[in-house]
Amino acid sequence: MNVASVIQIVASFSWLLFVGVIVIAVLRASRRQPVRGLTTAILVIGVLALLLSTASAGLVFISPQERGVVITAMAPGYRQQALQPGLRWVIPFVENVITYPISKQTYTMSIAQAEGQVQGDDSIAARTSDGQEIFVDATVLYAIDPEKVVQVHINWQNRYTDDLVRPLARGVIRDAVSQFRVEEVVTSQRFELVRQISEAMAAKMTENGLLMVDFILRNITFSPEYAASVEQKQIAEQQAQQAKFVVESKKQEAEQARQSAQGQADAAVIRARGDADARLIQADAEAKALQLIAGALQDNPELITYQYVTKLAPGVQVMLVPNNTPYLLPLPTLEPNVTLPTPSPSPSPQPTTTP
């Protein structure tokens, strides 16, 4: 509670006390009782009540979120400057003060029944450049310019919300929406739409002493017919996307199969090349081994006989060979300077007859 309010309360109580003392004095006088002391009290209380009333009429407390417009009986009828926050003095009974808030204020227009300042459907009906009707929900955040409070009072008084902010917002929104197609309003150009509305409203409100704080595009609703067509279009697009996804999946599967076959073919080629290289290396090694063996036999012909003998089983002492077949190897004689007789051919068995 501020000082001005306290003084006003005390002044009101003083006047009540003044009236009460007068009533008591009248009652005492009607009973022919002395009233000299009450008369003095009436004068003192009356003067005190008058002073307090004068003070309460002249003192005005302006809170930090307000500014005061002084209305005076003298020309031009108002003070040029608004009263700043604090305890201020005006001419009692000649001037009075009307306060205006300079804090942020909100005005909402919504299709919902109880969201906006106006009960019921208060959305803005607007038509796009292609003739589609849409319904816009919006909120305007604004404030009175502290330097232009007197101008607002002169032009609008306390009607600036209903007579300025509301019609201005609805008109600017309709003008801005008419410059875009319906698809652009809800997709690619939504931010551009908000920007145009904000700039246009800020300029108009500044001309009338208000500050544009922010514009919020809350929601956009379509007509039932267009909403149904949009839904059908979205369903068709989703089906097309699904079909495209299936095609892409098949392509990926085919590509994976191709890559798998290519990998198998490459692996087969690599294995074949490896086998061929291994055979070449083996053949080269065998050729080199044969060359070494041939060189060794050339220097020592009896080496092959030795190799043959070492391959025989250890227990073999006698070898039988056909009598008409030369020796496979030039075996050395068992004793030196001994000539082995040439075996005579064995007689062929004669057939026998049975009597």
Q: Are residues 88 and 158 in the same domain?
A: no
Residue 283 lies in a domain: no
8 Å CB contact between 91 and 46: no
For 191-240, write each residue's pLDDT tens digit. Answer: 999 999 999 999 999 999 999 999 999 998 887 777 676 667 666 777 78
> What predicted TM-score, i.e. pTM, was given to this entire model?
0.59
For 66-111, write each residue's pLDDT tens digit. Answer: 999 999 888 888 899 999 999 998 998 888 999 999 999 999 999 8
Rounded Cα distance between 332 and 302, Å, is 9
Residue 351 lies in a domain: no
Domain that holds residue 174: 105-222
- pLDDT attached to residue 349: 47
Q: Are residues 214 and 267 in the same domain?
A: no
- Look at the chain and report how many structural domains it folds into: 3
Residues in the chain: 355
The residue from 42, 75, 101 where one domain ends is: 101
Mean pLDDT computed over 331-336 = 47
Q: Are residues 157 and 261 in the same domain?
A: no
- pLDDT attached to residue 345: 52
Question: How distant is the alpha carbon of residue 308 from its chain centre?
Answer: 90
Residue 17 lies in a domain: yes
Half-sphere exposure of 107 (CA within 13 A, CB side): 18
Residue 246 lies in a domain: yes
Token pair 């007197």 is at which residue? 150
Q: What are the residues whose beta carbons fall under 8 Å from the beta carbon of 52, sequence distance 6 or more? A: 7, 10, 11, 14
Q: Are residues 31 and 92 in the same domain?
A: yes
- pLDDT attached to residue 321: 57
- pLDDT attached to residue 116: 82
- pLDDT attached to residue 306: 66
**AA identity, residue 125:** A
Q: Are residues 56 and 163 in the same domain?
A: no
Q: Which two tokens stand for residue 12?
A: 């009101």
Q: Are residues 195 and 139 in the same domain?
A: yes
Longest dimension (CA), the chain: 206
Mean per-residue pLDDT of the chain: 82
CATH number at residue 211: 3.30.479.30
Q: Are residues 156 and 94 in the same domain?
A: no
Is residue 137 predicted with pLDDT exceeding 90? Answer: yes
